[in-house]
Structure 1
Amino acid sequence: MSKLNLIIKREFLAKVKNKSFIVMTFLSPLLMVGMGALVYFLMKKNDEKIKQIAYVDESTLFSKDDFKDSKTVKYLDLTSLGLEETKKKVEAGEYYGALFIPKKDSLELLANQVEFYSKESPGLTVMNTIEGKLERKLQNLKLTSFGIDFQKIKASKIGVDVKMYNFSGEKSSKLINGIKIAVGALAGYLLMMFVIVYGSSVMRSVIEEKTSRIIEVIVSSVKPFQLMLGKIIGNASAGLLQFLIWGVIIFIVSTVATSVMGLDVNDVQSSSLSAEQLEMAKQQVSGGKMQTLLQEIFKLPLLKLFLLFIFYFLGGYMLYSSLFAAIGAAVDNETDTQQFMLPIMLPLILGVYVGFATVINDPHGPISVAFSHIPLTSPIVMLMRVPFGVAWSELLISMALLLFTFTFMVWFAAKIYRVGILMYGKKPTYKDLYKWIKYNG
């Protein structure tokens, strides 16, 4: 065990003392926050430019009340000028675009004959806003033609929010389920990034030591199994330290930037929504719903979620890192690793696809349950299922399978390493790996 501790310490210190590690530890979160601030600044600059849209209404069905201005879009009635003159003004750059509403015999024909002219392709948000205004007006006119009072229909609309309970007494709702999906998706994404970045780091470490022949001295006093395990745990410790520092820096810098620059979350959200969408969003969080949402979030088993997140986070990383270590032991340089990367990455990608395709729709369905027990996909799929509540029996089986598979994979990597460390100048094949695994010398 003392040898294992020495290897872990050596790998950890070698990683954290590396200049690139130190620079990226402090620079990466600053870059992330800086990019976020830049995006916000560009969005604000883009929104500051008011888009003027001229409309020509030959149908005479629309009024100025139907084209109310928003913060970023203003409408001007140029029906008296006619379409051709209005198009010339748009082409000259006086207006952002020209909306033409022709006169038709029926509302159905009119709905399919509206035209919009602009010098460049209009933004999606602008077009959605215009189409929304036209649709509401035409629907109102259609209802009026049927002798139906639209205001009564509008007043009769009632939002239904079904409260969901299971037989354990747990209460949920669509909003709470949305939070659970977000938590699970974030956990799965972080795991995937952690595996790719730090798993590759383990692989490069093995390749470097093999190339420098230092490893020939190390393996004379340390078992390959201990060496692999030490490398994986050492790199995992350095990675967790880096993630912790990133979290602290991002929190501090984000807080300072928010107060100094006066960033408003509501502004960021509203900049990407139309006026109608924003009003609908305000209605959804009115009446104390936001307070209720926060209360329900804190009712979640946050400690259990955190502990299980740590377990699957580390378990998934260590499982895949053992496979990366096996690849590093088999090759002489990073170029030769490409042929072995796809089989390793496929289960990881499959876990992400299964998580988003099945867990979101049916977290307790047979496919979700099955893939949350398969060790190569369970770290991601189970992490996405945990917020929805998983029986302890399922968790224990999944955790035991993950631990067993991780141990087996480290042993598997060590067998390849034992032989591969002395193989130079030859590009390995899958057949060679099979021979090395069977070798008992």
Structure 2
Amino acid sequence: MSVISLVIKREFIAKVRNKSFIVMTFLSPLIFAGIALLIGYLSTMKADVRQIAIHDETGWFVNSFKSDSEYRYINQSDTPVKTLTDSVKSGFYEGVLVIPNSSDPKFLEKHIQYFSEESPGIGFIEDIEDLISDRQTKFNLENAKLDTLAIRKAESKVSLSIARASGEESVKGLNEIKIGIGGAFGYLIMMFIIIYGNMVMRSVIEEKTNRIIEIIISSVKPFQLMIGKIIGTSLAGLLQFAIWALIGMAILFSASLFFDVTPATPMTSVAATAMQPQLSNAQLYLTEIWKLPIATTLIAFLLYFIGGYFLYSSFYAAIGAAVDSETDSQQFMLPIILPLVLGVYIGFFTVINDPHGTIATVFSFVPLTSPIVMLMRIPFGVPIWQIALSITILFATFFGVVWFAAKIYRIGILMYGKKPSWKEMVKWLKY
């Protein structure tokens, strides 16, 4: 058995036998399931109805406010504003909307006030503004002697039907589904890199602190030790993910049995006819999802998963060798995490709007961001040559970074009592 294989075996066994690893492997899915159940339970709980007092001195708007399950609007136009604001302070009313007496629309636009003890939500304020604006527009049209009913009838709202150039029908919202699929894969890679990259770094720091590294390095080359640590930790991480997936499927299966989830009974012809538009749309969504490059996405995910993790783990291993404690490593963490955050930002804010634009394309070739950005682009349809070039650049960069990281690793693991700097680490590359 080669030296690297022995290091991989040692790292893998050390990780999977660790008590914290075993506990978190089986406890994490239960925690997530508990959080999901708690969120589901809380979402079913109805919040108390909030009372909003309407003080409308014009008498134009008060009847436009309709109470619902969340807000109850009460006409208090005859009650003094001071009394109403005192009621808000005492907690009787959630807020009070004051509309001054004026026939000037321009005056009303700037002088309608809402009083509350707590800042209201953006959605609530927008709803109030839209309701008052619509009502004011209607009054303006009536004052201009225009037929508001005719104008309402003349209004139209166009809804585009999405179709391919080949003539096949498509559906709206498909871009959101595509970015969701790519984003899930990209986010999974980012979390794996951060969690298990830190594990590699802590392992190096621990062995360096305990002076175990001085014994190991006498029979193993620094490069072999670093590669062995990276691969061994990644195998332990993959095992943990596999166990989580199996536990997740078991929980879903158990939940379906517990809640007696069975196939729906056949619908009557009337119900089937009524549900036909929804069923047709759902079928279109499923058809479009199956048309996505699923095989390409899965293969690319595996390759980017391996390449991205190995690339970043090389950085983590080099940092672990350069420092004496996790506290000292913090100054080096931002440059590592920043490209990952940048990749997620570009994916969700640029790829969804222009998946084949310059920014999205360029960053899908940059090795530090390509594992996230390219995975978000693939569901939108990316030429195979771009994917191949991006993966080639990623692995070529990995081998280059490993060479530099090994030089830092070789010097750093035997350095004690001296806090390294970026300048110092650059010097180590010259040795």
TM bin (shorter chain): 0.7 to 0.9
* Aligned partner of residue 48 in structure 1, secondary structure: coil
- SS state at 2:173 partner: helix
Percent same amino acid at aligned positions? 50
Aligned residue for 1:438, secondary structure, equals: coil
2:345 equivalent to 1:353: yes
Residue 375 of structure 1 and its aligned partner are, at CA, apart by 1.3
Q: Which amino acid aligns with 1:95?
A: Y
**What does residue range 15-414 of structure 1 map to in structure 2 within 5 Å?**
15-45=15-45, 47-62=46-61, 64=63, 66-146=64-144, 147-150=146-149, 153=152, 156-163=155-162, 165=164, 174-250=172-248, 253=251, 288-414=280-406
Letter in 2 for 1:294: L
Contact 1:199 1:317 in 2 (8 A): yes
CA distance in 1 between partners of 2:123 and 2:161 (Å): 31
Per mean C-alpha deviation after superposition, the further-off stretch among 187-196 and 369-378 is: 187-196
Q: TM-score, normalised by structure 2?
A: 0.84
- 89-98 vs 202-211, greater mean Cα deviation: 89-98
Q: 1:393 offset after TM fit, Å?
A: 0.7
Residue type matched to 1:72 in 2?
E
Looking at structure 2, the residues matched to 118 and 436 of structure 1 have their Cα atoms a distance apart, in angstroms, of 62
Asked if the contact 2:293/2:381 (under 8 Å) is kept, the reply is no
Q: Structure 2: which 5+ residue stretches go unaligned? A: 261-276
Q: TM-score, normalised by structure 1?
A: 0.83
Q: How many residue pairs end up in the alignment?
A: 414
Q: Which amino acid aligns with 1:366?
A: T
- Kindly tell me: are residues 34 and 258 of structure 1, through their superposed partners in 2, closer, same or farther at Cα, counting changes over 3 Å? farther
CA apart distance, 1:316: 0.8
Matches for 1:410-425 after TM superposition, within 5 Å: 410-425=402-417
Is the CA contact (8 Å cut-off) linking 2:364 and 2:390 kept in structure 1? yes
The question of whether the paired residues in 2 share the 8 Å contact of 1:144 and 1:150 is answered with no
In 2, Cα distance between the equivalents of 1:436 and 1:372? 31
Q: What's the offset of the Cα at 1:212?
A: 2.3
Q: CA separation in 2, counterparts of 1:401 and 1:290? A: 39
Q: Deviations over 1:115-150 (max 9, x none)?
A: 222343334443333333222322333344441434
SS of the aligned residue for 2:55 comes to strand
Instruction: Describe the shift of the 1:2–1:89 C-alpha distance in structure 2 as closer, same or farther (beyond 3 A).
Output: same
- Letter paired with 2:152: I
> Structure 1 residues 385, 8: CA separation in 2 closer, same or farther (over 3 Å shift)?
same
Deviation at 1:431, TM superposition (A): 4.2
Q: Deviations over 1:344-374 (max 9, x none)?
A: 3333333333334432322212222222112
Deviations 1:41-69 (A, max 9, x none): 44554x420112221222121353x2222
| 3-state SS, counterpart of residue 56 of structure 1 | strand
Cα offset, 1:319, TM superposition:
0.5
Distance (Å, rounded) in 1 between the aligned partners of 2:256 and 2:209: 48
- Bigger mean CA deviation after superposition, 320-329 or 412-421: 412-421
Q: How far apart are the structure 2 equivalents of 1:332 and 1:286?
A: 61
Q: How many angstroms apart in 2 are the aligned matches of 1:203 and 1:336?
A: 12
Is contact 1:143–1:150 with CA below 8 Å preserved after alignment?
no
Verify the 8 A CA contact 2:230 2:310 in the aligned structure 1: yes
Deviation at 1:85, TM superposition (A): 4.1
Q: CA RMSD in A?
A: 3.1
CA distance in 1, matches of 2:54, 2:42: 28
Give the match's secondary structure for 1:54. strand
1:116 match: secondary structure? strand
2:342 is aligned with what amino acid? L
